[in-house]
Structure 1
Amino acid sequence: MKLKEIPRVGSLTKEQFLRDFLGPQKPVVLTDSIRDWPAYSKWDFDYIRKVAGEKTVPLYDNRPVDHKEGFNQPHATMKMKEYLDLLQKEPTKYRIFLWNVMKEVPELQKDFSFPDFGIPLMKGLPMLFFGGRDSYTFMHYDIDLANIFHFHFAGRKECILFPQSENKYLYKIPHSLITHESIDFSDPDYNQWPGLRHATGYRTYLEHGEVLYMPEGYWHYMKYVTPGFSMSLRSVARNPLNLSKAVYNVVFMRHFDNGMRRIRGKKWIDWKNRKAIERTEKVLKTMPS
């Protein structure tokens, strides 16, 4: 893969962000932009255990998509304090995914503000994500193709991004938001997945208090190098094409996919996996050797 380092800056004015990153749709890491947040000094595992330890949280692991499971259906549940104990004690594949801060732990709202990046943020949807060492998300993009601001706390996280222009090389699963789940994007097997040699994207590592901006519809693979957690804020896609894709995904695609899982079961999953490989191989055959 051709991975460029994501630019890193201390902070940006909204004019600089709009001109240099939102407009051209390029990712950036802000290293010093939230040092004035109470969360910067308060948010660690002990604090989360104190304010949310008794909450029951949905957990996800790295198992392949199963036809019996619904869209984003959790694989297990656990009290937050028990999950944090597990996460800090030993490597675990369990992750917390899309946990709504506003709904679940109102107290945490006092620890952060909504930055003025020059675009409106969805104030009802700040989401938390947790993971143990070596746990990761499959390469995917968000259903609403939003502009995403990813605020990282505790630990270290590897982030690999691709724009939508690279779909043809990524073994994208049809009627889905993921690539083929057998690909290890941290250490890809190019003999098995030769299309990845042609994919151009970005990589960075996030530390405590750093913010990653991911442009609309960007593919992202997140791997926890050490146990850690993050919060995402999002803004609606501004590109009309991306906005129309978001509406299609929410209104039709996810319901169609769930329906086909119920009707065809494992055959539907297997068909989609085959088509992902066939479509990328077809592209490769048209390229000069």
Structure 2
Amino acid sequence: MDLKLAEIPRVETITKEDFITYYFRPQKPVVIQRGIEDWPAFRKWNLDYMKEVVGDREVPLYDDRPVHHKDGFNQPHAKMKMSEYIELLQTKPTKYRIFLWNILKEVPELQNDFSYPDFGIKLMKGLPMLFFGGKDSHTFMHYDIDLGNIFHFHFQGEKECILFPQSETKYLYKVPHSLITHERIDFSNPDYENWPVLKQANGYKTVLRHGEVLYMPEGYWHYMKYNTPGFSMSLRAIARNPKNLAKALYNVLVMRHFDVLMRKFKGQKWIDQKNERAIYRTNKLKNIST
């Protein structure tokens, strides 16, 4: 049995009026297939171009290893030159990914290749972020700490995307005091014997290809899997819903620091307790003892 996932609607292009009316206000995802064909990046951005432009930069790499209590917030698992990393992507599968790599800070010259589209909401111009991954590498299911509105622009290859709104959180085995679901869940091939309540969750799916833009509404859970080596860029706008803004402030000012403190105080026991709690809380919805 597969997850209950509706296909994300697709449009070739969209006016800002239609975007606001049909997707932003009702907080529904959409894929815009031809939204950036006027960007130089649409023609230029591929792995070879990135190797040429930023090949000498050292980049932070992440994989899908379980969270460990000694891991710092967004602490990379490895580092290497971008040229070496892209050669790795192009020659064999790898779990290593780059995420939240700020273009303005790291590679300001790349900003000449794109512009900030007018979707009818104000985009944060200081936070254009790049994400890279090798074939079959993936993120944990998570939502962003600021619960922002995200526009995800994909370049080269194919990327599988699975989304859930915050309303489905109770079915997703969310780990307490964190932004992720239980790490052992494979959302591309879920095991319902171990995760039975997932069957109740209703979400969305799509596959992104070069030049396509995915809009993810405020606080949407997202799981990304690279079907082929490739990369994406995200632009974002702040959450508008007061509840989401309050939750974002709590995440940044309280939750993150509390979790770091508990890792230092209780060590790996804290991580294990959170994972156990995620299973216990969620399985109560089906009266399943764990």
Q: What does residue 245 of structure 2 align with?
A: 243
3-state SS in 1 of match to 2:138: coil
3-state SS in 2 of match to 1:232: strand
3-state SS in 1 of match to 2:140: coil
User: How far off its partner does 1:279 sit?
Assistant: 0.6
User: How far off its partner does 1:285 sit?
Assistant: 2.3
3-state SS in 2 of match to 1:213: strand
Instruction: Give 4+ residue runs of structure 1 displaced > 3 Å after superposition.
Output: none
- Provide the rounded CA distance (Å) in 2 between the counterparts of 1:72 and 1:235: 21
Say whether residues 1:5 and 2:16 are aligned partners: no
After superposition, residues 152-167 of structure 1 pair within 5 angstroms as: 152-167=154-169
Percent of residue pairs identical: 71
Aligned-partner residue type, residue 76 of structure 2: P
- Provide the rounded CA distance (Å) in 2 between the counterparts of 1:208 and 1:220: 19
* CA displacement 1:103-139 (0-9 Å, x = unmatched): 1111100000000011110100000000000000000
User: How far off its partner does 1:92 sit?
Assistant: 0.2
Aligned-partner residue type, residue 101 of structure 1: I
Say whether residues 1:95 and 2:129 are aligned partners: no
Q: What does residue 214 of structure 1 align with?
A: 216
- Provide the rounded CA distance (Å) in 2 between the counterparts of 1:119 and 1:251: 25
2:184 aligns with one of 168, 171, 182: 182
1:268 aligns with one of 264, 267, 270: 270
- Provide the rounded CA distance (Å) in 2 between the counterparts of 1:228 and 1:23: 31
Q: Please give the TM-score of this superposition, normalised by the length of structure 1.
A: 0.98
3-state SS in 2 of match to 1:185: coil
Say whether residues 1:34 and 2:32 are aligned partners: no
Aligned-partner residue type, residue 168 of structure 2: E
- Provide the rounded CA distance (Å) in 1 between the counterparts of 2:190 and 2:26: 29
3-state SS in 1 of match to 2:42: helix
Q: What does residue 110 of structure 2 align with?
A: 108
- Provide the rounded CA distance (Å) in 1 between the counterparts of 2:208 and 2:75: 27
User: How far off its partner does 1:72 sit?
Assistant: 1.0
Q: Please give the TM-score of this superposition, normalised by the length of structure 2.
A: 0.98
After superposition, residues 131-142 of structure 1 pair within 5 angstroms as: 131-142=133-144
3-state SS in 2 of match to 1:267: helix
